Amino acid sequence: MLVLLYAGAAAATTGCWYGLASVDGAAGWFAWVGRLTGLLAGYACAVLLGLISRIPALDRGVGSDRLARWHALSGRYTIVLSTVHMAFATAAHVARSGTGVLRGTVGLVLDGPAVLEATIGFGLLSGVAVISVRAVRRRLRYETWHYLHLLTYGGVFLAFAHQLTGPDFAGGAVASTLWRALYVSVAVSLVWYRFLTPVRRALRHRLRVAGVRMESPGVVSVYVTGEHLGELGAEPGQFFRWRFLAPGMWWTANPYSLSAPANSRFLRITVKAVGDHSRALARLRPGTRVWAEGPYGALTAARRRKPRVLLIGGGVGISPLRTLFETLPGQVTLVYMARRDEDLVLRNELDSIAAARGATVHYTVDELTGTSGGRAVPLTGRALRTLIPGLAVHDVYLCGPTGMTTAARHALRRAGVPNRRIHVESFDF
């Protein structure tokens, strides 16, 4: 995938590299750097949107959390490349026109081809970048950040016309057609997968809440029923974005993993109350209409390479692992970590599955000093190796809070499990 992205960047800048031989003088070099970074910024914009278009093959192959990280990275590239592009294009303009910096810059913004629109677009993208900085984002409600973040579409849209005025497209019908095709395919994917598919699914499956069950203080399971559920194609380990059409909830769609294998009668999620949306689930009434967008996620059986599998779940991260524990073929062991005894949810189900398939479950009640059948299980390579014989030849599926999954990944690496066999679902975006 990364190779494909870099190949795309190389293809997008081909004309620019050919033009290198004819670059002359300082103004020529300024213009060339401006041209190269402008092309790369335009390409990064298309990638930025393509990565979050929710194309199923992309989502399954790469994983939603990794796609979200790449999307954020493309956003940073876009801002840096656009800034360099603006600085160098302005320097070239000022050098060629012989006007002062201020007059030259204002003249370029007001009279340059679609430069004003592109500058406003850059302003919007910069605003989104600022609210996405971790320290700022933490202070915002998720929904506030999410809706402001949608300004990205406006920013990219405004910058598009300017891109086509560059020297690579102004005279070249082929290059301009390919560039338009890139943007049109991204736009079609976005409309198809983010808007039309969810609407079509909502009409086809007519999902509604069947019931809510309390699993432990602060954790509930929601059962959702509907029509043609088998057609959803949800695999164990995957998640949906759930929009419950109840007062105060319909305007937000939150991701929750299936905590039981999907079947023709119901879908089930198990959710810990951490904020407004997750807390409100306990109050859902049977019959409430539901829109579920998905299934998404790459934490599935397709990742498995070895016959032996270790599942490590932290807290409510047990949800997707519960379905994998039941359905993954081969020899499966589950380590379930929680801070307190009462946080170990779905315990009866896990014990029944373990008994039915002759598998082992280790419960640990504190992630650093917990006990498993009376033994301390610190989250270190040595402790995991002792607990799981032959650990290095296992595939490991990890799900839980970021701190726990990071510590577990380090411990597994030290225990000799290669990175490619550690499969993680992060609950943080």
Ligand X SMILES: Cc1cc2nc3c(=O)[nH]c(=O)nc-3n(C[C@H](O)[C@H](O)[C@H](O)COP(=O)(O)OP(=O)(O)OC[C@H]3O[C@@H](n4cnc5c(N)ncnc54)[C@H](O)[C@@H]3O)c2cc1C
Residues interacting with ligand X, by CB under 6 A? 64, 142, 239, 252-257, 269-272, 274-278, 297, 316, 319, 425, 427-429
Q: Give least dist CB 139 to ligand X, A.
A: 11
Residue 309: CB minimum distance to ligand X, A = 20
85 or 277: CB nearest ligand X: 277
Q: How far is the CB of 425 from ligand X (least distance, A)?
A: 6
The sheet that has 239-244: what strands, in order across it?
Answer: 254-257, 239-244, 290-296
Nearer to ligand X, 90 or 270 (CB): 270
Beta bridge partners, 222, equal 212, 269
In the complex, least distance from residue 49 CB atom to ligand X, rounded to whole angstroms = 18
**Among 220, 228, 223, CA closest to 208:** 223
> Which pair of structure tokens corresponds to residue 238?
């995957």
CB of 265 to ligand X, least distance (A): 20
113-117 long-range contacts, Cβ below 8 Å, gap at least 24?
113/162, 113/165, 114/161, 114/162, 114/165, 115/162, 117/158, 117/159, 117/161, 117/162
Q: Map 165-197 to HEC letters.
A: CCHHHHCCHHHHHHHHHHHHHHHHHHHHHHHHH
Residue 121 tokens read as 């677009």
What are the distances in angstroms from CA 193 to CA 59, 186, 201, 258?
11, 11, 11, 20
Based on its alpha-carbon atoms, the radius of gyration of the chain, rounded to whole angstroms, reads: 26
CA atoms 178, 184, 185, 186: torsion sign: positive
169 or 256: CB nearest ligand X:
256
In this complex, which beta carbon is closest to ligand X, that of residue 82 or of residue 270?
270
Which pair of tokens denotes residue 421? Answer: 């066999």
Supply the angle between the helices 142-149 and 115-132 in degrees, to the nearest 10: 160
Q: How far is the CB of 198 from ligand X (least distance, A)?
A: 14
Q: For residues 168 and 293, which CB has a smaller minimum distance to ligand X in the complex? A: 293
| Beta carbon nearer to ligand X, 343 or 425 | 425
- The CA dihedral of 57, 63, 68, 73, to the nearest 10 degrees, is -90
Q: Which is nearer to ligand X, 31 or 220 (CB)?
A: 220
Name the token pair of 67: 């796609």
**Whose Cβ is closer to ligand X: residue 208's or residue 279's?**
279
Cβ 254 to ligand X shortest distance, Å: 4
User: For ligand X, which residue has the nearest CB?
Assistant: 275
- Shortest distance, CB of residue 64 to ligand X, whole angstroms? 6
> Between residues 8 and 255, which has the closer beta carbon with respect to ligand X?
255
Packing angle of the helix pair 101-111, 115-132 (nearest 10 deg): 100
Q: Least distance from C-beta 275 to ligand X, angstroms?
A: 2
* Rounded Cα gap, residues 164 and 173, in angstroms: 11
How many beta carbons lie within 10 A of that of residue 37, not counting itself? 23
